[in-house]
Amino acid sequence: MIKYTWEFLVTLAIGTFLLGIHGEAKLKDTIVINGTDWVDTEGRRISAHEGELARFDDYFYWYGSSYKNNPQGKFRMTAGPVWNGVQVYRSKDLKNWEYRGVCLPRPESGFGKVGATGRSHVLYNQKTKQYVMWYRWFIAMPASFLMVATADNPEGPFTPLGAREVGTSTGFGSDMNVFKDEDDKAYLIYCDHNQPDAEGGNWRYAIRIDSLSDDYLSSKREGVIVFDRGREAPAMTKYKGKYIAVASGVHGWSATETSCSTADSPLGNWKNQGYISENKTWNSQVSDLIYLKESNQVMALCDQWWIPDRADIDKSRYLFLPLRINSGKVSMEYLEKWNPLIHPQKSSD
């Protein structure tokens, strides 16, 4: 029988206690808290609106637009140079975000200086070894261009390559997102303002999906329709064998419910599931979806426009919310506090 000294037992007890405290503190430090201001590791407010969460190597990257010095969120050409470039942050745990700078700066002169840039989304192309950013440059309706830029690393600087035509009747597109499948094929999901020629009338706001070229630098212009009309701010992912697309209503900076469609292939027949959120998506708008392998779930990045300060849109908060799928039915859930990288309790499916 092994005998332990009193000193050893005391030391063991203290070590176990301290380990427990350390573990609880570490866990607490990775808990996402919705309904609060989001700050980076230096305590500064995170400014990465209408953006994306991407994952490259060991880091998550958060790309988005800054509305600093543009408190009312103006975006037309007549408002002048109202955007401040695309910001990038990085994190290993989705909680603690390190600011890495401006990865796509606003040009000081010429093409792109005026108007507004947003909806920046980045893919890595394994063949070309390039990071490819798709983003929107808006002047005034219907002049909304989908643009491409490339970089050698995820933090940029990204070099603009100019506008790209997409699968609409005019070649123009607006709010957009990107998705890379398991076979490395990539897709562009975007808003089409145009009515079909035979209809005329007001703007349509359909949501379409095009496949991208092998280098991800251009659209193949198929224009498969996901939502027929009345939608913007789309996002797309794959989860539990289903392709999932979501979009908001068309209400400017005001919150709406989130619509959802599912399909068995990216270009293939999409089935509308209706609304999957509550309380106008908890006063927010989804800007991106990301699959998290650690917890085997999908998380939505959302903008809470004008919350908490109606006088300054750059202070707008963010929500990280889980998407659930049970028996083929998709739903969103509001959680005040959670760790997205920890597997939830086993669902019914």
The more confident residue out of 327 and 43 is 43
From the list 296, 262, 316, the residue with the least C-alpha distance to 51 is 316
Confidence of residue 201 (pLDDT cuts 50, 70, 90): low
**Which pLDDT value is given to residue 196?**
65
- On whether the CB atoms of residues 195 and 203 are closer than 8 A, the answer is yes
Choice among 19-33, 77-91, 178-192 with the minimum mean pLDDT: 19-33
Instruction: Please state, in angstroms and as integers, the Cα–Cα distance from residue 195 to each residue in 77, 187, 228, following that order.
Output: 24, 23, 10
**Which pLDDT value is given to residue 139?**
82
Determine, yes or no, domain membership for 15. Answer: no
What average pLDDT does this structure show over 190-219?
86
Determine, yes or no, domain membership for 2. Answer: no
Q: Is it the case that residue 332 has pLDDT exceeding 70?
A: yes
What average pLDDT does this structure show over 91-104?
98
Determine, yes or no, domain membership for 211. Answer: yes
Burial pattern 197-216, b for ≥16 Cβ within 10 A else e, equals: eeeeeebbbbbbbbbbeeeb
Confidence of residue 144 (pLDDT cuts 50, 70, 90): confident
**Which pLDDT value is given to residue 294?**
95
The more confident residue out of 174 and 139 is 174
Q: Is it the case that residue 186 has pLDDT exceeding 80?
A: yes
Residue pointed to by tokens 């969460």: 53
Determine, yes or no, domain membership for 21. Answer: no
Tell me: cis bond preceding 266? Omega within 30 of 0 counts: no
What average pLDDT does this structure show over 302-317?
97
* Separation between Cα atoms, residue 340 and residue 325, nearest integer Å: 16
Determine, yes or no, domain membership for 294. Answer: yes
Which pLDDT tens digit goes with each residue over 209-261? 999 999 999 999 988 999 999 999 999 999 999 999 999 999 989 999 999 99
Confidence of residue 23 (pLDDT cuts 50, 70, 90): very low
The dihedral formed by the CA atoms of 37, 38, 41 and 43, expressed in degrees to the nearest 10 = -30
Determine, yes or no, domain membership for 7. Answer: no
Q: Is it the case that residue 284 has pLDDT exceeding 90?
A: yes
Which structural domain range is residue 200 located in? Answer: 31-338
The more confident residue out of 345 and 315 is 315
pTM of the model: 0.90
Q: Is it the case that residue 347 has pLDDT exceeding 80?
A: no
Q: Is it the case that residue 2 has pLDDT exceeding 60?
A: no
Counting every residue written for the chain, the total comes to: 349
The dihedral formed by the CA atoms of 249, 280, 72 and 36, expressed in degrees to the nearest 10 = -140
Q: Is it the case that residue 198 has pLDDT exceeding 70?
A: no
- Backbone phi, then psi, for 52, in 5-degree steps? -140, 150
Q: Is it the case that residue 207 has pLDDT exceeding 70?
A: yes
Radius of gyration of the chain (CA): 22
Q: Is it the case that residue 264 has pLDDT exceeding 90?
A: yes
**Which pLDDT value is given to residue 274?**
97
Confidence of residue 6 (pLDDT cuts 50, 70, 90): low
List of residues 6+ apart from 320 with CB closer than 8 A = 32, 34, 94, 299, 300, 301, 302, 338, 340
Q: Is it the case that residue 48 has pLDDT exceeding 80?
A: yes
Count: domains in the chain: 1
* Separation between Cα atoms, residue 28 and residue 45, nearest integer Å: 20
Determine, yes or no, domain membership for 8. Answer: no
Which pLDDT tens digit goes with each residue over 337-346? 999 999 886 4
* Separation between Cα atoms, residue 153 and residue 134, nearest integer Å: 15
Choice among 96-100, 110-114, 229-233, 307-311 with the minimum mean pLDDT: 110-114
Q: Is it the case that residue 19 has pLDDT exceeding 50?
A: no
Q: Is it the case that residue 58 has pLDDT exceeding 50?
A: yes
CATH number at residue 314: 2.115.10.20
**Which pLDDT value is given to residue 142?**
72
The more confident residue out of 225 and 200 is 225
Determine, yes or no, domain membership for 318. Answer: yes
- Average pLDDT value over all residues in the chain: 89
Q: Is it the case that residue 349 has pLDDT exceeding 70?
A: no
Confidence of residue 199 (pLDDT cuts 50, 70, 90): low
- On whether the CB atoms of residues 284 and 303 are closer than 8 A, the answer is yes
Within 10 A of 344 (CB to CB), how many other CB atoms are there?
A: 15
- Backbone phi, then psi, for 23, in 5-degree steps? -65, -40
